[in-house]
Amino acid sequence: MADLPLLIEPEALKPLLDRADLLVLDLCKDTTYQQLHLPGALHMPYAEIVASRHPTHGLLPLPDKLAQLFSAYGIGDTTHVVAYDDEGGGNACRLLWTLDAMGHSTYSLLNGGLHAWANEHHPVTRDKSSPQPTDFTPRPNPAPVAETADILQSLHREDLALWDARSVNEYQGLSRFSQYPGHIPGAVNLDWLELMDREHNLRLKPEETLREMLGDLGITPDKDVITYCQTHHRSSLSWFVLKYLGYERARGYPGSWSDWGNRDDTPKETP
């Protein structure tokens, strides 16, 4: 569905909900989905699209597992997926990043998610829709995926930009959720929450504002940008923003600090 933008507004999506080649996936909390959701939307639990290998969390599941999941939900090779959530886009963007990593490039994010949709009085329902299973063919795509070894080998490169999307306390090592505190050497910090416009129902901030925010930190389109958080949940929104802004070399780091910060062979930095 080439006519759909990567970032779609509620008013643009509303007349398209009945299109057979479009699938709306809800990644809200289950209790929220039971109370209200977009008509026809299927609920996909976030836990289904991540894997863990303690103490590392937020890993990319194996292609076969994802193929089974996506097939069961009715994501075919030509299906256009529109994802949304109720928390600013982290869950939804993790799904979109996962689709991209499996070679599926036809997708959109609902700008503002459920907040924008419901608060602006678009139709909602409690009725549950049933999936129509199909066949999803995984074609693993390494382009959006950064691995630990990739980062270790690239730390010296001038064209590398590392975006830490965690809170400033996590970045500085004041809050710790892994064995070691701090951040990847050379990384700059921009909390994922700063990408959201709270005055406009958690939409992304205007494009020019986002470009300026990133440019001020040296995160420019000519660089290879890797974004991470604790488990590549928050940084999935960061990855999406980079893609939305046309950054051609944007990658997300599955496992993120739960991987890097729990290893003895990775350098760490604190202010």
* 229 in active site: yes
Please, are residues 195 and 204 in contact by the beta-carbon 8 Å criterion?
yes
Q: Which residue has the tokens 């420019």?
A: 220
Q: Which of 25, 229, 241, 242 is catalytic?
A: 229
d(CA 4, CA 238): 21
Largest CA distance in the chain: 53
**Phi/psi class of residue 179: alpha, beta or left (left: φ > 0; alpha: ψ in -120 to 50)?**
alpha
Where in the sequence numbering do the catalytic residues fall? 229
